[in-house]
Amino acid sequence: MIIKNEKLQVKNHALLFKRGVFLFLLLGHALHGLAQNKPIVTSEVDTTFIKIGDQINFKMIVEIDSTDVVIFPEGQTFSPLETVEAFATDTTRKKDRVTLQKIYALTQFDSGSYKLPSQRIEINGKGYFTDSFQVNVATVPVDTLAQKMFDIKPLIQVEKSNAGLWKILLIILAILGLIAGLVYWFVFRKKPLTEEEKEALLPPYDRALLELKKLDNSKYLIKDEYKQYYSELTDIVRSYLEEDVHVSALESTTDELINKLEMLKDAGELKLEDDTIKQFKNILQTADLVKFAKSKPPTSVAQQDRKAVEQIVVKTHDAIPEPTLEELMAQEEYQEELTHKRQRKKWVIAGGAAIGLVLISAVAFISYYGTTKVWDTVTGHPTKKLLDSEWVASSYGYPPINIETPEVLVRQEIKIPAEAKANIKELQAFMFRDAKALLTMATTSTTFTQPAEPEFEKTIDQLLKKFEAKGAKNIITKQEEFTTITGTKGLKTYGSGKFKVPESEELIKGQYIILSFGGKGFQQQILLTWQDGDTYAQEIIDRILATVEVKTEV
């Protein structure tokens, strides 16, 4: 019994051992599979030493499964190095694995030692980082013995860009074109005439016959509207007589109108028969009864009256004597006068429309910009023209002063006094002065023969004495610290005084600012002067001060 139990235990141990080995192999295979699926990220550069402006190729290599999603870095993430180009990703496959290769061309334009930072590659939402590299950038050596050195060439005067002027001219032309188009469309354009307008242009005789035909097509008699029928019938013949016979027929009573026709007949101005006048009188009396006594003649009578009126119109037209030569000439002159009046009316309307648009535009501009700005723009205020011009950002002198101004500062030829040559190695000055705007902008860069600290107070006193030598009075001086946009600190000397107007003995109140920077062996200064109370000049000064940048390393 004991032997059987021992055999059974041995058998169980063997079974457990086999199971353990199986589980171990299974786990090892799973771990091996996990190790195979894990992304592998490597990076390399083709060189760690370049010259200024040369390029290095930074390569990223990622080994992943075919189902993984990879996002490489984009943009300027390689600072302080600059990205020149990011090449397309190269893909190669090996069984169920994919190898991605991404190359970036990088460069740097300043010498020094730079660290290419580690880059983050996102795989399936998780970040993986590359190695960082140290890149050395060297300057390009210049052989001054083999390469001949030349003096700095003088400044070339360049014509000012008229881009802003062209824009203004285009806007003005567009507005004028719009005004001309509107005036042509609403005033001078020959508009298609309506039927009523075409009828109004017909001669009185033709228009009367056309209106009688329209009356035939009316439904007045069918609807028993005799009053409207006879009113239109008599108005047609009265209007014709007034226009063609020149007799006041519309405002005359029946008896008055008949008397006027008889008088014209007796005077020989209208060759009508007595029967025609009598027939016309009967029609007018019938119309009076219908309109005022509510009489209702038979339909046949109304139709006969309509035909009789047409015959009266025809006979009257034939009875009018032919106009004499004097009458024709007078009529032609009258028509010409009417034409001239119509033309004058059109030009008055066009001029009024143009003036109206100009006034509306002026009111809109004044409402938005204010009266002063609009007036100064129209009259060409000198400092406003400078403020609205195309500004120039440039670097002046050495050590350089970077500044943005409405005009380019021009190099000034300054001779260093003999007594100062022992201390001053080089003096570079640039200036722009607008006498009309009473505005001055100037920079000076001075390098000393010895690495001594600059004496700002001494230089500022010399500038103030120059102001007084040129006639300035009552100069007030204040000082405070000034910080540039890059954090460089300097001294700001500012104040006001009465300055002499160029080519005049007049003194005006003005303001000035002197910015002083420097270090061992050099000094940089910016001088600004402008008229007190000139808001445009103040805007110019504020904008200049916001752009000042100096390099304090020689």
Q: What is the DSSP string of 31-65?
A: HHHHHHHS-EEEEEES-SEEETT-EEEEEEEEEEE
Quote the pLDDT of residue 61. Answer: 93
In this structure, the answer to whether residues 9 and 65 fall within a common structural domain is no
**Residue 185 belongs to some domain of the structure:** no
Report in angstroms the alpha-carbon separations of 532 from 374, 468, 494, 495: 21, 18, 13, 11
What CATH code is carried by the domain that includes residue 100? 2.60.40.10
**Residue 345 belongs to some domain of the structure:** no
Residue 444, token pair as written in the block: 């000076």
Show the domain range for 251: 195-320
In this structure, the answer to whether residues 438 and 457 fall within a common structural domain is yes
Q: In the 3-class helix/strand/coil scheme, how is 535-547 assigned residue by residue?
A: HHHHHHHHHHHCC
Cβ atoms within 10 Å of 139's Cβ, excluding its own: 10
Whether 106 and 77 have beta carbons less than 8 Å apart is answered as no
**Residue 312 belongs to some domain of the structure:** yes
Question: Which position has the token pair 């000082």?
Answer: 479
**Residue 288 belongs to some domain of the structure:** yes
**Residue 369 belongs to some domain of the structure:** no
In this structure, the answer to whether residues 69 and 134 fall within a common structural domain is yes
CA distance 18 to 487: 76
In this structure, the answer to whether residues 541 and 399 fall within a common structural domain is yes
Per DSSP, the three-state class of 106 is: strand
Backbone φ/ψ region at 112: left (φ over 0), alpha (ψ -120 to 50), beta: left
- Domain end: 299, 320, 341, which one? 320
What CATH code is carried by the domain that includes residue 534? 3.40.1000.10
Question: Which position has the token pair 């009864």?
Answer: 289
Quote the pLDDT of residue 450. Answer: 82
Q: Which residue, among 466, 467, 463, 490, has the nearest Cα to 479 in the 3D structure?
A: 490
**Residue 190 belongs to some domain of the structure:** no
Q: Which residue, among 374, 407, 373, has the nearest Cα to 390 in the 3D structure?
A: 407
**Residue 376 belongs to some domain of the structure:** no
Q: How many domains does the chain have?
A: 4
Q: Write the pLDDT tens digit of every residue in 482-534.
A: 988 888 888 999 988 888 776 667 788 888 999 988 888 888 889 999 888 88
**Residue 126 belongs to some domain of the structure:** yes
Q: Which helix (H) or strand (E) holds 512?
A: strand 507-519
* DSSP assignment string, 361-390: HHHHHHHHH-HHHHHHHHHT-HHHHHHHS-
In this structure, the answer to whether residues 452 and 488 fall within a common structural domain is yes
Using a cut of 0.85, tell me whether the model's pTM lies above it.
no
In this structure, the answer to whether residues 25 and 55 fall within a common structural domain is no
- Domain end: 138, 160, 175, which one? 138
Q: Which residues of the chain have pLDDT under 70?
A: 1-36, 140-166, 168, 187-188, 191-193, 323-324, 327-328, 330-331, 334, 362, 365, 368-370, 372-374, 376, 378-380, 502-504, 552-554
In this structure, the answer to whether residues 289 and 390 fall within a common structural domain is no
Quote the pLDDT of residue 45. Answer: 92
CA distance 34 to 32: 5
In this structure, the answer to whether residues 52 and 200 fall within a common structural domain is no
Quote the pLDDT of residue 14. Answer: 47
Quote the pLDDT of residue 23. Answer: 40
In this structure, the answer to whether residues 111 and 10 fall within a common structural domain is no
Question: Which position has the token pair 């300097």?
Answer: 490
